[in-house]
């Protein structure tokens, strides 16, 4: 298996407008659902109602995705704002005894 071992380092991950991309995709799924909704009878007659539910599921999962990438983006910004002191232990506030 030595010939399949990579001989170079992996490239840095590409970062882009992740929140906007996921939001746009989620909107697209919901729009597709709403566009197909008036044709529910036709989809039902031809056994294609799963098309509607796939679009609705995509929109619902997209909402979870928006929540996730917004939290991730905020965490990345917090980490970038902190000074680089890997040797320092995390600070913890302790209640003082009176």
User: In this predicted model, what pLDDT tens digit does every residue of 63-92 receive, in sequence order?
Assistant: 999 999 999 999 989 998 888 755 555 556
pLDDT, average across residues 43-56: 95
Please check whether residue 89 lies inside any domain of the structure: no
Please check whether residue 92 lies inside any domain of the structure: no
Please check whether residue 34 lies inside any domain of the structure: yes
Please check whether residue 1 lies inside any domain of the structure: no
User: Total structural domains in the chain?
Assistant: 1
Please check whether residue 48 lies inside any domain of the structure: yes
Please check whether residue 93 lies inside any domain of the structure: no
Residue whose C-alpha is closest to residue 34's, from 16, 50, 49, 52? 52
Q: Which domain holds residue 22?
A: 17-79
CA distance 74 to 95: 28
Between the CA atoms of 80, 83, 89 and 93, what dihedral angle is there, to the nearest 10 degrees?
A: -90
pLDDT score of 13: 81
Please check whether residue 67 lies inside any domain of the structure: yes
Please check whether residue 12 lies inside any domain of the structure: no
Neighbouring residues of 36: CB distance < 8 A, sequence distance ≥ 6: 43, 51, 52, 55
Distance, C-alpha 78 to centroid of its chain: 18
């Amino acid at each position: 298996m030595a010939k399949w071992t990579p001989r170079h380092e992996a490239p840095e991950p590409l970062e882009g407008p992740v929140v906007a991309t996921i939001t746009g995709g989620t909107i697209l799924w919901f729009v597709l659902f709403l566009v197909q909704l008036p044709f529910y009878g036709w989809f039902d007659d031809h056994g294609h109602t799963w098309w509607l539910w796939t679009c609705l599921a995509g929109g619902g999962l997209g909402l979870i995705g928006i929540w996730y990438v917004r939290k991730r983006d905020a965490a990345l910004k917090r980490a970038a704002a902190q000074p680089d002191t890997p040797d320092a232990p995390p600070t913890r506030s302790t209640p003082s005894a009176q």
